[in-house]
Structure 1
Amino acid sequence: MKNSANENVALAAEDVLNIIHNKAGSVVSEAYQELWNPEVQAKIDEAIDRNRKADATFILEDVPSGTEVSVEQLDHEFRFGAHIFNFNQLGSDACNERYKDLYGSFFNSATIPFYWRTLEPDEAEPRFEGRFEDSAEFWNTVTDPKRQPHWRRPAPDPIVEFCEQKKIHLHGHTLVWGNEIWHNPLWMREKLPARFRRMVELVDGNMPIKAPLFDDLSIEQLERMMPEFTLELHKQMARRIYEIGLRYKGRLSSWDIVNESSTDFREGKMVPGAGLCKSWYGLMPGDYAFRAFKLAESIFPESLLLNINDYNMDEHYLAQVKSLLSRGCKVDAIGAQMHLFDPEVCRAIAMGESRKQCPAQVYEELNRLSEAGLPLHLSEITITSPDSSEYGQMVQAIIARNLYRLWFSLPMMSAISWWNVVDDCGAPGEPSYSGLFFRDMTPKASFHALNDLIHNEWKTKLELSALDDGSVRFRGFPGRYQVKWTDADGSERSAEFVLKSSAHA
């Protein structure tokens, strides 16, 4: 297989599947194939059948034994999602429509951006409904979209309405995050006392709420020196959670309540009862993860899933989740990120020179998180093509297919969400070739590989015969089904039913 970086080499679905099933050795090394050997694959297949399927019985009235019945799965209970951060931003109506068509057809879940800094660029003036710069008309004329402040940060109301029309799972990301570049608003930093504002460092023109002076002061000293700011941090965090919670009450199905906080937990920075947290990000409300969950629980309906989300997969993240649960927090799911941002790492994985995300590592990390007894959500997935050539695409496709199969097989897994769907649409510093589609929305090999899994291999379609009691029985993937048959009068009949799993919905 050619290993050249030719631009946008489009591969047909049948060619991709032929390479995966018959010619994988032309793409990945023997060392990689040995890590994913037939014994490992058989173990995954057995676990998928055991953990992801359920037994179904559907009763048909007044149907003679032996009547032919067609059973077809229409959609999945399991959530196969992606973020929808490039809504109306792809530069042409044609690309925008192809992008939107994926949600409700290929993806049944969408992660919607609620980053504080761009949602509320001016205090008390959130851009929920959207402005001209959120319209396709605006983005279709932009020549350098990445330089726009709202790139990958569309207004949420139009997306929520779109997803409701498509009847797909809506997942909000994120309510609380300490990140001073991507999340917390600039106007919050201006609330620091003037003497402290003059001391903070400038980073890329931004003013994070951290300074060398803060390292030498205790939490108690800082609280005494800036009581108004301490109160303001708590007030603003609570206002944001209540404002969003009331606006979208009963509309979104799940939220990332707190993002990437396990480092502060590991370092003992979130002290119960403290007014401030000397987070590694900067100053945050004291014990902010605990307080965010309690605030969210008080405003969101009981049915809504409250998630925690992080990239750390170590024992400290597990300990943080257990700690929050022991303190009475309603934590419904654990978000786990997996970003292979470096294209050379993906090439090294394919060559067997790196064991990152090999089966042993995946089992170790995710089985450890499963000890909390909560559903897992692979919340942010990045798998990068080494380049856009046929070879580069197939590396991404083979790695993605193997990982999706393993993740899907795990009993506590409830959702998997790809991050950047389209090439060259990531945040600054993220790779150009991590999408499932080229920038012009031409599908890449990885799309064909995952589409075959999600909408072929993992969708149940059967031709059965009714039993003596008029029932049809089968084992299939949970989701919504349509049953068709011909009754005794020769009339074609159909009905729908939902097959639920015994695991987590």
Structure 2
Amino acid sequence: MSRLVKVKMTDTNDQPMPEYILNTLYASDMYFEPDIRKSTVMSDGTVELQVESPTIMLHGRVNLPLYGNIWVMAHNHGEGYKSSDFADGRNFDFVAEAIGTYLWEAENFSKGIIPTPYARGHFDAAKEYCSLAGEDVDAGYCRLKALSHAVLAAEAMCYETALAKLAEKPRPELMLGCNIFKHAGNDRHGEYFKELFNFATIPFYSYQLAPEEGRLDFERRDELVDWCEANGITPKGHPLWFGHKETNPAWMFTKSYEELSEFARDTIKKTAGRYKGRIKVWDSMNEPHDWANCFNFTQEQLMELTRICCETVRETDPGATSVINVCLPFAEYVAGKFVCYGPVFDQPVSPMKFFRRAIEKGIDFDVVGIQLYFPARDMVAVNRLLDVYAGFGKPIHITEMGVPGGNTRGQTDDISTVDPQSQIGLTKGGWHSAWNEHVQADWMEQFYTIAAARPEIKALTWWDSMDPGFMKTSPFLFEDQVPREMYFRLKSLKHRLRGRPDNLKIGH
């Protein structure tokens, strides 16, 4: 049943936040499934938001002092908000509710650990700034400072809890990967790659594999599989189907759904058959939800094509691991009701909803694959979202990820200028400070630690190893094969993940 929620979002001057911020506000259920955004910004800056889910949490982009611009959540101590919470028509104070959300998260994570001075300091700062705001001491500024410190405290305690879990139960079996698209022989890039990774993603995009109708080109793929095997690296094939217009050759756009689904079946048989026993992990279907649908398939056709891809992999190589890979895992595009390519359906399908439907329909796949670019969210929200994907009861691979390394060595990080409705534009944001190599390495260390502490996560794949990458300045190496700081951080972090702390000693 639809109902109206009135929300105020105030800035450091205690006035309404800029309209572009107010227009980001949306509601989701407690499993991050968004309502389509139906909002109006009133003349006094109040946002009137129509919500559908019976129990909701709220999400809005906020400029946090000493942090950056990110999506912030308010979820009422994990209970969500019900109709009765808005029955009196009061204005919902987003900043106050978000402060309460992150302080509650921090307290939850602090159970069973002794927080570091960093974590405790942020927690105490958040409480003190709340008190100062209550005394009307520069209230707008102090409220946002309280929220910033509350987010930092909750993130820190989430990370420190993960550290404790890893110390108790390391993850020597965890696969650490990257795509190997730029491999060019036994050069410095290859040596650096072998130092970090035991899992490599090999390209099988249709425009490379089937540039001409009736001909499959395996030459580059054979070369990469051979190199992986020679160096003890597990190869993964990506993707067996992807509905993005830039990854498919022109001849495919003249075909019907029936013809393309038959092409998919035939190509997968030949591809998975050729590498049977050699490539044991496949992204059988890539981004099959509504985001990238360049062939304008219906939602039913997308689901049926997913079935065809997954079942053909299983029939061709029963021992292979079949992955369904999704992007934009928070599904903010559903709230905005827009997509990258293809039709915008009345009710877009989020990655979460796609997995639920695929499992209900009995589609035969093994792994939930999640892409995590940026993602303009704090680590607490990311960890909470991973709970949702873990709820599908299957192993998880983080299949693609990246955050920028900042403007260094003459390269330009153009994240701030991309189309706001592109994949990167939708997830652009700050994290703790302006992006640079130090912040990038910090993000990677925190996320890898939090992910590794979750036993359902079996593989972590950074997307690009060397510039230029899908996300500019995100790879481990510059184009001249000189490492960024992140390379050295992961090389050291591997010892902690694998439970070999002695290897962290200086000079060891």
Q: Same fold (TM over 0.5)?
A: yes
Q: Does 1:458 align with 2:497?
A: yes
Deviation at 1:99, TM superposition (A): 1.4
Q: Match of 1:114? A: 204
Q: Does 1:330 align with 2:330?
A: no
Q: Match of 1:426? A: 469
1:61-80 pair list within 5 angstroms: 76-80=172-176
Q: Match of 1:40? A: 158
Letter paired with 1:404: Y
Q: Does 1:383 align with 2:383?
A: no
Q: Match of 1:410? A: 454
1:52/1:411 contact within 8 Å kept? no
Deviation at 1:103, TM superposition (A): 3.8
Deviation at 1:52, TM superposition (A): 3.5
Deviation at 1:42, TM superposition (A): 2.6
1:42-441 pair list within 5 angstroms: 42-52=160-170, 76-88=172-184, 97-129=187-219, 155-182=220-247, 184-191=248-255, 229-263=256-290, 278-279=297-298, 287-301=304-318, 303-314=319-330, 316-340=350-374, 356-388=376-408, 392-423=436-467, 425-427=468-470, 430-431=471-472, 433-441=473-481
Letter paired with 2:234: H
Change (3 A) 1:360 1:461: closer
Deviations 1:428-482 (A, max 9, x none): xx32x1111121111111111111101x32334489xxxxxxxxxxxx9xxxxxx
1:103/1:168 contact within 8 Å kept? no
- Tell me, which stretches of 5 or more residues in structure 1 are unaligned? 1-20, 54-75, 130-154, 192-228, 270-275, 342-355, 464-475, 477-505
Deviation at 1:426, TM superposition (A): 2.0
In the alignment, the residues of structure 2 paired with residue 256 and residue 47 of structure 1 have an alpha-carbon distance, to the nearest angstrom, of 30
Deviations 1:307-334 (A, max 9, x none): 0001132484233223323333221111
Give secondary structure in 2 for the equivalent of 1:278. Answer: coil
1:45/1:409 contact within 8 Å kept? yes
Change (3 A) 1:235 1:165: same
Change (3 A) 1:232 1:447: same
Change (3 A) 1:453 1:243: same
Letter paired with 2:363: C
Give secondary structure in 2 for the equivalent of 1:410. Answer: coil
- Tell me, which stretches of 5 or more residues in structure 2 are unaligned? 1-115, 122-144, 332-349, 410-433, 504-508
Change (3 A) 1:22 1:439: farther
In the alignment, the residues of structure 2 paired with residue 285 and residue 402 of structure 1 have an alpha-carbon distance, to the nearest angstrom, of 35
In the alignment, the residues of structure 2 paired with residue 451 and residue 42 of structure 1 have an alpha-carbon distance, to the nearest angstrom, of 20
Letter paired with 1:293: C
Q: TM-score, normalised by structure 2?
A: 0.57
| Larger RCO, structures 1/2 (Cα 8 Å, 6+ apart) | 1
Give secondary structure in 1 for the equivalent of 2:267. Answer: helix
In the alignment, the residues of structure 1 paired with residue 223 and residue 202 of structure 2 have an alpha-carbon distance, to the nearest angstrom, of 11
Letter paired with 1:49: A
Deviations 1:332-391 (A, max 9, x none): 1111101128xxxxxxxxxxxxxx331221112111000011111111011101212798
2:199/2:234 contact within 8 Å kept? yes
2:369/2:399 contact within 8 Å kept? yes
In the alignment, the residues of structure 1 paired with residue 364 and residue 155 of structure 2 have an alpha-carbon distance, to the nearest angstrom, of 40
In the alignment, the residues of structure 2 paired with residue 37 and residue 236 of structure 1 have an alpha-carbon distance, to the nearest angstrom, of 46
Change (3 A) 1:32 1:113: farther
Letter paired with 2:327: Y
Q: Match of 2:75? A: none
Change (3 A) 1:185 1:284: farther
In the alignment, the residues of structure 1 paired with residue 213 and residue 357 of structure 2 have an alpha-carbon distance, to the nearest angstrom, of 33
Deviations 1:199-241 (A, max 9, x none): xxxxxxxxxxxxxxxxxxxxxxxxxxxxxx3432222111111
Deviation at 1:411, TM superposition (A): 2.2
Deviation at 1:126, TM superposition (A): 1.8
Deviations 1:50-104 (A, max 9, x none): 4545xxxxxxxxxxxxxxxxxxxxxx4210000001021xxxx7xx611112344
2:399/2:459 contact within 8 Å kept? yes
Deviation at 1:305, TM superposition (A): 0.6
Please provide the CA RMSD for this pair: 3.3
Give secondary structure in 2 for the equivalent of 1:250. Answer: coil
Change (3 A) 1:230 1:322: closer
Letter paired with 1:377: H
Match of 1:442 among 482, 485, 497: 482
Deviations 1:124-173 (A, max 9, x none): 222212xxxxxxxxxxxxxxxxxxxxxxxxx2000001111112211110
1:87/1:100 contact within 8 Å kept? yes
Deviation at 1:32, TM superposition (A): 9.1
Give secondary structure in 1 for the equivalent of 2:487. Answer: helix
1:35/1:358 contact within 8 Å kept? no
2:166/2:497 contact within 8 Å kept? no
Q: Match of 1:495? A: none
Aligned residues: 319
Change (3 A) 1:38 1:399: closer
Give secondary structure in 2 for the equivalent of 1:105. Answer: helix
In the alignment, the residues of structure 1 paired with residue 435 and residue 244 of structure 2 have an alpha-carbon distance, to the nearest angstrom, of 37
Letter paired with 2:403: I
In the alignment, the residues of structure 1 paired with residue 266 and residue 284 of structure 2 have an alpha-carbon distance, to the nearest angstrom, of 14
In the alignment, the residues of structure 1 paired with residue 276 and residue 469 of structure 2 have an alpha-carbon distance, to the nearest angstrom, of 29
Give secondary structure in 1 for the equivalent of 2:262. Answer: helix
In the alignment, the residues of structure 2 paired with residue 308 and residue 286 of structure 1 have an alpha-carbon distance, to the nearest angstrom, of 11
In the alignment, the residues of structure 2 paired with residue 240 and residue 307 of structure 1 have an alpha-carbon distance, to the nearest angstrom, of 17
Give secondary structure in 1 for the equivalent of 2:241. Answer: strand
Give secondary structure in 2 for the equivalent of 1:417. Answer: strand
2:283/2:324 contact within 8 Å kept? yes
